[in-house]
Amino acid sequence: MENETNLAPLELAVNRLREAETALNAARMDVETEALAAARAGADVEEVAALSGISPGDLRQLDTDLGVIPPR
- What is the distance between the alpha carbons of residues 48 and 16, in angstroms, rounded to a whole number? 32
* Per-residue model confidence as pLDDT tens digits over 15-28: 999 999 999 999 99
Domain spans of the chain, in order of start:
2-63
**DSSP single-letter state for residue 53:** T
DSSP state, residue 41: T
Q: Single out the residue of 48, 39, 46, 47 nearest to residue 70, CA to CA.
A: 39
Tell me the C-alpha distance between 14 and 22, whole Å.
Answer: 12
Low-confidence ranges of the chain (pLDDT < 50): none
The predicted model scores a pTM of 0.73
pLDDT of the residue at 65 = 55
